[in-house]
Structure 1
Amino acid sequence: MARTWSVLVVDDDFRVAGIHADIVAAAPGFRVQGSVRTIAEAREALATDRPDLMLVDVYLPDGDGIELVRGAGVDAFILSAADEADTVRRALHAGVLGYLVKPFPRQTLSERLDRYARFRHVLAGRRGLRQEKIDQALSILHGQTPGAVVVSRSATEQLLLDALGEGELSAAEAAGRAGVSRATAQRRLATMAGQGVVQVRLRYGTSGRPEHLYSKQA
């Protein structure tokens, strides 16, 4: 079963917070854990149930959102009207994974959430990570175009095999977990199936069109 990522929205403007929460709720694989207006409320929420990701404004009634991120130990995006270079650098030093200057189109945040989910899928698990997998995750997070980080054929196939280690997956599911395009996943999985590296079976849905499911060869 695919992972659902929980998000805490931290913004003192309830209208803006509501817009951000709506975008999160509409994003596949995400849910809104809560929406709070102050640092004190955010810390209380963190103590009760830590989210996977926070969306945090810089200027909050009782303090600085960047300092909240610095001490929270939780993945975070800064969503703020603050566009000063010093503020952006300070946020990056605090460990934020993204910085969006308000106002921004809804699609922009939706795309960042999609990248975050794919980034987390690539970095899932407790095993050691090869350099190409780390590079792939960072490439996804920063929205680099395909080829900006060069991943060899064998490395790409290994990313897909790692994804299949979690169980039987469709090409689309394997692509999301490996952080590659669906077309690339389909092509590489078909090649590995022909080589006997992975096995494939057909699952018939209500539409009558079969879906290919891939798994590691025993």
Structure 2
Amino acid sequence: MTIRVLVVDDDFRVAGLHHGIVAAHSGFTALDPVRSVGDAVSAIRAHRPELLLVDVYLPDGDGVELVRSADTDAFVLSAADDPATMRRALRAGALGYLVKPFEARLLEDRLDRYARFRNLVGGDRALGQEEFDRALAILHGGGEQPSASRSATEQLILEKLGEGEASALEVAERAGISRATAQRHLSTLAARGFVEVRLRYGTTGRPEHRYLAVGG
């Protein structure tokens, strides 16, 4: 299941650029962009996006107030660079703030982090404090450098998962490692939000654990 994203920006060129970044990113579906608060409210009601990318200045209202009222995860993407607006966006519930113009890689990074964050907190099970703190650290960066935070074996496993969802045995065969090694690293990657774990129920016996790489 992909994460549906709605871009809200009155500049059609900027909206198209951000829409393209989302559409090209694995694990995300880019809904048709909208250019006003009114259209955003209608699109949210009709399509139920999981994430909004919202400009502050919209022709019929304030993007920050849209974030406040939408009850939907959101990032604010705006040319407004004054601290008061940034604080107001965070108070309204925005998960983050990007000052335009910005490089595409910054939005791509936020999408990756959001996917991992959602993987950790998106279910119904209770979370311990350590798990919740880890999820927040992932969302907000936490000083982590993605390329340096994974071992060579973990990076190899993620590359092999890029070929599609797989069991631990299938991952082991793709990567040329033992099943026990694959299982150990898959558990670590899942705990850190890089991998999503799904259950496949057969006709008999225990359900099979299936693994899928999160984000791009």
Equivalent residue, structure 2, for 1:109: 107
Output the amino acid matched with 1:44.
Answer: S
Supply the distance in 1 between the matched residues of 2:124 and 2:41 (Cα, whole angstroms): 27
- 1:132 aligns to what SS in structure 2? helix
Supply the distance in 2 between the matched residues of 1:175 and 1:41 (Cα, whole angstroms): 42
Deviates more, 1:100-109 or 1:168-177: 168-177
Supply the distance in 2 between the matched residues of 1:95 and 1:174 (Cα, whole angstroms): 31
- 1:99 aligns to what SS in structure 2? strand
Q: In the alignment, is residue 179 of structure 1 matched against residue 197 of structure 2? A: no
Match of 2:61 among 48, 63, 70: 63
Equivalent residue, structure 1, for 2:97: 99
Q: Do the aligned residues in 1 keep the contact of 2:8 with 2:52 (CA within 8 Å)?
A: yes
Report the CA distance shift for 1:181/1:105 in structure 2 as closer, same or farther (over 3 A).
Answer: same
Q: Do the aligned residues in 2 keep the contact of 1:7 with 1:30 (CA within 8 Å)?
A: yes
Report the Cα offset of residue 34 of structure 1: 2.1
Mapping of 1:15-164 within 5 angstroms?
Answer: 15-146=13-144
Supply the distance in 2 between the matched residues of 1:131 and 1:174 (Cα, whole angstroms): 19
Supply the distance in 2 between the matched residues of 1:79 and 1:85 (Cα, whole angstroms): 14
TM-score (norm 2): 0.70
Report the Cα offset of residue 132 of structure 1: 0.8
Report the CA distance shift for 1:39/1:134 in structure 2 as closer, same or farther (over 3 A).
Answer: same
Report the CA distance shift for 1:180/1:35 in structure 2 as closer, same or farther (over 3 A).
Answer: closer
The percentage of aligned residue pairs carrying the same residue is 55
Residues 158-178 of structure 1 show CA distances to partners (whole Å, capped at 9, x for unaligned) of xxxxxxxxx945568656543
Q: Do the aligned residues in 1 keep the contact of 2:64 with 2:88 (CA within 8 Å)?
A: yes
Match of 2:8 among 7, 10, 23: 10
Mapping of 1:185-204 within 5 angstroms?
Answer: none
Output the amino acid matched with 1:132.
Answer: E
Output the amino acid matched with 1:91.
Answer: A
Report the Cα offset of residue 124 of structure 1: 2.5
Output the amino acid matched with 2:138.
Answer: I
Supply the distance in 1 between the matched residues of 2:53 and 2:188 (Cα, whole angstroms): 26
Q: Do the aligned residues in 2 keep the contact of 1:118 with 1:177 (CA within 8 Å)?
A: no
Output the amino acid matched with 1:46.
Answer: I
Output the amino acid matched with 2:81.
Answer: D
TM-score (norm 1): 0.69
Greater RCO, CA 8 A, separation 6+ = 2
Supply the distance in 1 between the matched residues of 2:190 and 2:122 (Cα, whole angstroms): 8
Q: Do the aligned residues in 2 keep the contact of 1:5 with 1:53 (CA within 8 Å)?
A: yes
- 1:125 aligns to what SS in structure 2? coil
Report the Cα offset of residue 180 of structure 1: 5.3
Supply the distance in 2 between the matched residues of 1:36 and 1:11 (Cα, whole angstroms): 6
Supply the distance in 2 between the matched residues of 1:92 and 1:32 (Cα, whole angstroms): 24
Report the Cα offset of residue 179 of structure 1: 2.2
Q: CA RMSD in A?
A: 2.6
Q: Do the aligned residues in 2 keep the contact of 1:119 with 1:179 (CA within 8 Å)?
A: no
The alignment of Structure 1 onto Structure 2 pairs a total of residues equal to 165
Report the CA distance shift for 1:174/1:15 in structure 2 as closer, same or farther (over 3 A).
Answer: farther
Supply the distance in 2 between the matched residues of 1:143 and 1:94 (Cα, whole angstroms): 21
